[in-house]
Amino acid sequence: MLTPSETFHQPGLFETDLLLQLDRADPLLKLALEIPRHEFEKAFSIHYTEGVGAPSKPIRLMVGLLLLKQWENLSETVVL
């Protein structure tokens, strides 16, 4: 079951936004902001059935982990 990705997050009173804590010059953060997540979600959503099974992990997360695995030549156990 494909769960929709959140496009907007409003932090609560005692919660800080994670993006404010990260270094904006970090190359992985810059890359994460450039990944066309809506295109990937559109392409992969045909492989999910509505209302069947456990909720999925976000497609953006899966694509990002796959890219990191390939670039750093990591095993699946290291990435996960």
Mean pLDDT of the chain: 81
pTM above 0.75, yes or no: no
Residues 6+ apart with CB under 8 A from 74: 68
pLDDT at 69: 92
pLDDT at 22: 82
Contact 5, 57 (CB under 8 A): no
Give the tens place of pLDDT for each residue, 15-44.
Answer: 667 777 888 898 888 888 888 888 988 898
Residues 6+ apart with CB under 8 A from 53: 1
Residues 6+ apart with CB under 8 A from 55: 1, 3
pLDDT at 57: 83
Q: What angle do CA 41, 47, 51 make, to 5 degrees?
A: 95
